[in-house]
Amino acid sequence: MTSNTSLIVLHTTKFGENSMVIHTLSREYGRRGFVVRSMGRKTASLLLPLNILEAVVVESSRTNLYTARNLIASASLMGIRNSLYKNTMTMFLSEVLYRVVKEGTAEPGLYDWCEKQIRLLDAIDTDFSNFHLRFLLELTVALGFSPNVEDLRPFAGDNMPVIEKLMSTSFAESMLIPLSGAHRNEICENVLRYIEYHTESTLTVNSLKVLRELFV
């Protein structure tokens, strides 16, 4: 059985000599890995974090290993790919999604929300230093445990007033909230611990170190 599917790339894993498993989000399959065979330079360039792809998925009746082929980018995302800062942010956000959303999970609306956020980051041409904070807070809503003040307070401590402001203002206003790099990193850690608790995940996010160093 074959089907045309939109995929968001979260992570890749080498599979054999010349193949990869791409770990993705999609409307039809939720969080699932697909084998991509005969990897070339052009195919590898499509598998950057949070790339949005169109693919033909081939389901197998004999194995759980589904194959994705005829991959094409459905969005160029040049606003992201031409920015070191945005690229670093997508590395971080894709790693969070990969670790938080479990294989086989099919949260209604999660794919569409993620695609909207990726396109928003690609298009924004003003200060976006708070984007990942807003993304993490909205992710809790997409995953079904929308934060409230009392629930967040044990994780946020003295940062609760700022987190409340990040949640309650419009997107444009939340991007303009003045934060030092150290303060922004501290809030990021607060929200990650909150997500970790509610998803029973271990969020050792390797790309967080690079993000911290860039957004100082």
Give pLDDT tens digits along the chain (216 positions): 888 999 999 999 988 878 889 999 999 999 999 999 876 777 778 999 999 999 999 987 777 788 999 999 999 999 999 999 999 999 999 999 999 998 888 777 999 999 999 999 999 988 899 999 999 999 998 888 877 788 899 999 999 999 999 999 999 999 999 999 989 999 999 999 999 988 888 778 878 788 877 766
CA 168 – CA 180 distance, rounded (Å): 20
- In the chain, the domains with their CATH numbers are 2-73 (2.40.50.140), 78-214 (1.20.1440)
The closest alpha carbon to 122, from 214, 48, 16, belongs to 48
Which residues, in sequence order, are CB contacts of 213 under 8 Å at separation 6+?
Answer: none
Beta bridge partners of 24: 9, 32
Closest CA to 83 of 121, 117, 114: 121
Question: Which pLDDT tens digit goes with each residue over 3-37?
Answer: 899 999 999 998 887 888 999 999 999 999 999 98
